[in-house]
Amino acid sequence: MNENNNVEQELDMNQLMKVRREKLDKLREEGKDPFKITKFNRTHTSEEIKDNYDELEGKDVTIAGRIMAKRIMGKASFCHIQDSEGKIQSYVSINELGEESYKAFKEDDIGDIIGITGFVFKTRTGEISIHAKEVTLLSKSLRPLPEKFHGLKDTDLRYRQRYVDLIVNPEVKDTFIKRTEIIKEMRRILDEKKYVEVETPILNTIPGGAAARPFITHHNSLDIDMYLRIATELYLKRLIVGGFDRVYEIGRIFRNEGMDIKHNPEFTTIELYQAFANLEDMMNLTEELVSKIAEKVLGTTKITYQGQEIDLTPSWKRVTMVDAIKEVTGVDFNTISTDEEAQEAAKKAGVPVDPIKTTRGDIIAAFFDEKVEETLIQPTFIYEYPIENSPLAKKLENDERMTQRFELFIGGREYANAFAELNDPIDQYERFLAQVKQREAGDDEANMMDTDFVTALEYGMPPTGGMGMGIDRLVMLLTDEASIRDVLLFPTMKPLNNA
């Protein structure tokens, strides 16, 4: 039954496209090819007309947009035009346009892009409208919009054809406008604090700065394999070595990993580094960034995300990873000192242990991921991470098994990651060696040896605080979107099988 419906829909689509193509052919025969028009001078947008009605009433304006609705009533008609800012109604009559132009307007289809010149007025129902004096077809829509058939509710189709999604679901555009506002406000705050925005390479000879599987490509001229970057960290810290005090980069990151509602193979992050700053400075800055962005873009720091009430107002909870585990599970890793004890605790608690990650530190991280992360609804900084999963962070002075690192959690998800950056080149070299051994043992997300970065540290890097944040997840939070695909204009999709 469904197959028959799909066939009928496809036949309908093909027939309607044929009719529209015939209309275009006729226009071309008459020397009225809309695709030859190169410019159209509009004076106002739909929102400008609505916002300034008192000033514009009775005056001529020129708008342009897509026909979204049309009511033909003999010698007079109404249509709704959608432009980049919204919709506005137009009244079109044979008396004003003349018989030939009115007949041409009646042939225009839903989806066509037209220009209208006319005066501003209100209808008897009080709707602000334009009384058309002239209508110009600017572009012919050869494919009918989907709501003519079955609507654009299929999320897979919406992501593949975002251009159609934006046309028929105007609220989608609001999410992406907010995304731009979020990034703009982030830049404004950091620029005011005298951070310098920089750009670092996307093609790397070594994937570093994060634990992730890279994409591999080949450089033909150099005849070497290269990697799309998995982080911007190591290049940005080279700039701190070089004398920049405060740097940041907002850019695309690429990780050859799984896809779900929280992950896309390419995504956007901000990483920032500040010389002479510590982990507390990074907490304060992260808290300020998120709360100020929410206040600017949403007008409040109290939001709802997927039904959960979340308060982004500073100050946020700060708790060590070990204490957070104890709060949720009762297991106290302060009293567990050996790998064997940690493994036994994991077994009792039902926490899965990776066969190649069996140390006390590995199991602390596994405990947190399995039992604690999803419980952190209100903004919470979790700090003091095991050294095993923090190869670029400074050790704690009183416990060298743990590092000066935090992650920010909101709504049970991680949003930011920060270190008191490791600037000891000897320690860094040893950490890289440990990562290389993990890689040889089968951990394809472990870091490779980056001898040039070690060389940079040997020239001396000041004490530095660094923080990275996922822009896409922040946009999801502030626009109440459940999936990362809803905040990416063109998310990665598996190609359709056209065979």
Q: What share of residues in the chain are helix, strand, coil (percent, to 5)?
A: 40, 25, 35
CA distance 225 to 422: 28
Around 141, how many Cα atoms within 13 Å sit in the side-chain half-sphere?
20
Q: How far does CA 458 lie from the centroid of its chain? A: 37
Mean pLDDT of all residues in 339-366: 95
CA distance 385 to 427: 17
Give kind and range of the element (H or E) at residue 228. Answer: strand 224-228
Average pLDDT, the chain: 93
338, two tokens = 């050996």
Placement of tokens 């809309």 in the chain: 34
Domain 171-316+378-486 top-level CATH class: alpha beta
pLDDT for 8 equals 47
CA distance 425 to 415: 29
- This prediction has a pTM of 0.90
* Residue 367: partners with Cβ closer than 8 Å, 6 or more residues away: 325, 329, 331, 333, 345, 346, 349, 351
What confidence tens digit (pLDDT) does each residue in 76-93 have?
999 999 999 999 999 999
Is the pLDDT assigned to residue 485 strictly greater than 90?
yes
Closest CA to 435 of 366, 403, 369, 388: 388
Question: What does the domain layout of the chain look like in residue ranges?
Answer: 2-151, 171-316+378-486
CA distance 492 to 384: 35
Contact present, 123 and 91 (Cβ < 8 Å): yes
What confidence tens digit (pLDDT) does each residue in 395-428 have?
999 999 999 999 999 999 999 999 999 999 999 9
Contact present, 393 and 421 (Cβ < 8 Å): yes
pLDDT greater at residue 195 or residue 2: 195
Contact present, 325 and 331 (Cβ < 8 Å): yes
Mean pLDDT of all residues in 231-254: 97
Around 110, how many Cα atoms within 13 Å sit in the side-chain half-sphere?
15
Contact present, 441 and 356 (Cβ < 8 Å): yes
Please report, to the nearest 10 degrees, the dihedral formed by the alpha carbons of residues 272, 278, 283, 286 taken in order: -20
User: Which segment of 266-270, 434-438, 444-448 scores lowest on mean pLDDT?
Assistant: 444-448
- Considering the domain 2-151 in this protein, what is its CATH number? 2.40.50.140
pLDDT for 392 equals 84
492, two tokens = 């990665």
pLDDT class of 9 with cuts at 50, 70, 90: low
Around 327, how many Cα atoms within 13 Å sit in the side-chain half-sphere?
13
State the DSSP code for 112.
-
pLDDT for 47 equals 97
Is the pLDDT assigned to residue 148 strictly greater than 50?
no
Give kind and range of the element (H or E) at residue 380. Answer: strand 380-386
pLDDT for 6 equals 47
Is the pLDDT assigned to residue 299 strictly greater than 60?
yes
* Residue 75: partners with Cβ closer than 8 Å, 6 or more residues away: 93, 94, 95, 102
Peptide bond into 315 cis (omega under 30): yes
